[in-house]
Chains A and B, each alone.
Chain A
Amino acid sequence: MQTSNSPFLHIDHVHKTFGETEVLSDIDIGLEEGGFLVLVGPSGCGKSTLLNMIAGFETPTQGDIRLGDRTLTGLHPSQRDIAMVFQSYALYPNMNVADNIGFGMETRGVKKNVRQKKINEVAEMLQIQPLLKRKPSQLSGGQRQRVAMGRALVRDPRLFLFDEPLSNLDARLRVDMRIEIKNMHDTLGTSIVYVTHDQIEAMTLATKIAVLNQGQVLQVGTPEEIYNTPANEFVADFMGSPSMNKAPVALDTDGSAVTIQLADQRLKLHNPSDALHSLAARQESVVLGIRAEDITTTLGQESLDENELPLTVQFVEPTGSDNFISAGDKALSFVSRAKNNVRPSVGDAARLKLDMNRLHFFSPSDGKRVG
């Protein structure tokens, strides 16, 4: 029985070992009904193995996966009430689009006229009716992607699984399809588990993100939580582009206020955490993190404000809408994001103002967030 506090999809303390190597260790993630869970991490982190276990292609060595009030462990993939979109789309090359979409119904013995009707409904929804008689080899990448989604949609499952579905598309199409997947989720309201290594896909699509690395869940949370309060240095690095700036700093305290030393400037922290207070009392070092958009770069160093660092411009990376300005020296350097009309030259003197409310601190020993 499903109790009120157990989630719709529950990956319950799952372990997976292949021989001696542990590829997933104690994964525990819950997803509410209608949620969009994105598993994100670098290649080899175990995210695809986890998805394969939900689909039923792999069996957990330990732990259980439940969907609704059923445990999935031991069920054949076809009995899990799931549908999956694969990275390579996995369209049956010998069948035309209509047969590809209808193959699942065919194996379940659905009558031909019912099948036809459902195929047409899905084709209309995805605007692929003109393609129904074509073979997969006659379709473009984007069209194949649509057909793969059609094959998943026609099943009307309780859970969709997406395995890096956009990684084979060009950049433009990827953005379009991303929006379409988002719209599909909003319209249907069916729960989705989505695997990607692209942090932008994760941020834009998810209602819940799980960041994985080396077989472990580093953080589970909403995109905002993951971005604004990363649980450790890895998550801070992995999510966001460019990567978060980091610098080792020494903490100090005058009894009430906690301060850090940066580029000969002494900065006073706003609302430091208890952990930072106690670390500061022992004058320990921590790793400071700050995102590019939380630094304001102004040219010239005539008058320095409080919380401003005098640094030299190292290089400028124009992206069109924004310029990413890297300033500092070998020992200390920050990338900041500026409007495209701020365009310093290499070697220019600049002052960088850090948003003191948006600072992150990590323990230098284990990388965990301390404030």
Chain B
Amino acid sequence: MSNASTHSSGFNISRLFLYIVLIIFAVYYLLPLYVMLVNSVKPLEEIRGGDMLALPDAFTLTPWAQAWSQAQIGVQATGLKPYFMNSLAMVIPAVLISTLLGALNGYVLTKWRFRGDGIVFGLLLLSCFIPFQIVLIPMARMLGIFGLAGSTSGLVLVHVVYGLGFTTLFFRNYYAAFPSELVRAAQIDGAGFLRIFLRILLPSSGPIIVVTVIWQFTNVWNDFLFGASFADVDSLPMTVALNNLVSSSTGVKEYNVHFAGAILAALPTLVVYVVSGRYFVRGLMAGAVKG
């Protein structure tokens, strides 16, 4: 770089400025994560001692083990582990079902248009804007009627219904840009409704599936209100359990355990983002550019 031309040296100064700004923002956003990580591996006395930003003197993983399997949440000292499993048992079917139904809806609303399809889509979209609080009581009543009150299946149903508006919107916009001539070609080739969906559209939907899965996964995993309202002791999701852990009013506040628990609760969404985040932007763009 020492013998760089005038062109690229001017370029480098603006680059440098850019990097400085970016680094400042990165630090700003990473600081909370740093605080959580650092304090989750310190003994409690060290946190009480003062400096939140200092690296640990005595490194320990005990808070993590406690948060995972020993902390007192509710009646028994089970740690967050069973609630983590509850969340998984809720998130995985909820994401899969809402994504699949959203894809089917998008396919029908773009490629098998019917009278009044615009109204159906409009109503589905409307569900994206209904505040959660409004549906709490009617939803509780519905779950009671279905016999799903207080169960993980009930939560799955709630999240599928609530997610359908968004997943439909994602897939509808993606498939709107998908050439209808392909569907026609497949019809001449003798493929029916489901075969066209499964063989032609779905295999070409990678980016939008990623977007929908990330969106649904984070929303369902991070949901607190529905979990707190509709779950029973044995189906409480991670978010509610974390709250119970942190806000328990008796005994000593074990900040290190709380930090570890909070990271555990955030970990799955973090992993989903890191693994497939770059497809997220790509998928969001794919529908937008051609639409």
Contacts and interface: CB of A to CB of B under 8 A. Distances in A.
Nearest to A83: B188
A74 to B, nearest CB: 15
Given A94-B200, A94-B204, A103 B191 contact: yes
Given A86-B185, A90-B185, A104 B190 contact: yes
B179 interface: yes
Nearest to A78: B190
Contact of B184 (A77, A94, A103, A107): A77
A90 B189 contact: no
A351 to B, nearest CB: 54
A200 B290 CA distance: 32
B191 to A, nearest CB: 5
A88 interface: yes
A82 B195 contact: no
Contacts of B186: 92, 103
B181 A88 contact: yes
A91 B184 CA distance: 11
Interface size grouping (class) on chain A: 20 to 34
Interface size grouping (class) on chain B: 10 to 19
B287 to A, nearest CB: 16
A86 B179 CA distance: 11
B182 interface: yes
A57 B188 CA distance: 10
Nearest to B184: A57
B199 to A, nearest CB: 8
A108 B190 contact: yes
B244 interface: no
A55 B186 CA distance: 12
B200 A92 contact: yes
A130 interface: no
B181 A104 contact: no
B187 interface: yes
A56 B199 CA distance: 22
A93 B204 contact: yes
A70 B9 CA distance: 76
A76 B189 contact: no
A82 B188 contact: yes
Nearest to B195: A107
B116 interface: no
Given A57-B184, A84-B184, A107 B200 contact: no
Interface in B139-192: 179, 181-182, 184-191
A77 B188 contact: yes
Contacts of A57: 184, 187
Contacts of B182: 90, 92-93
Nearest to A76: B187
A216 interface: no
A172 B27 CA distance: 57
Nearest to A105: B189
A158 B166 CA distance: 46
B203 interface: yes
A94 B189 contact: no
A93 B184 CA distance: 14
Contacts of A92: 182, 185-186, 199-200
A78 B187 contact: yes
A277 B4 CA distance: 87
Interface in A62-100: 76-78, 82-84, 86-88, 90-94
Contacts of B187: 56-57, 76-78
A107 B191 contact: yes
A312 to B, nearest CB: 51
A55 B195 CA distance: 20
Interface string A6-43: 00000000000000000000000000000000000000
Given A88-B179, A90-B184, A92-B200, 17 more contacts: A55-B184, A55-B188, A57-B184, A57-B187, A78-B187, A78-B190, A82-B188, A83-B188, A87-B181, A88-B181, A90-B179, A90-B182, A92-B182, A92-B185, A94-B199, A107-B189, A151-B185
16 contacts: A55-B188, A76-B187, A77-B187, A78-B190, A83-B188, A84-B188, A88-B181, A90-B179, A91-B185, A92-B199, A94-B199, A94-B203, A103-B189, A107-B189, A107-B195, A151-B189
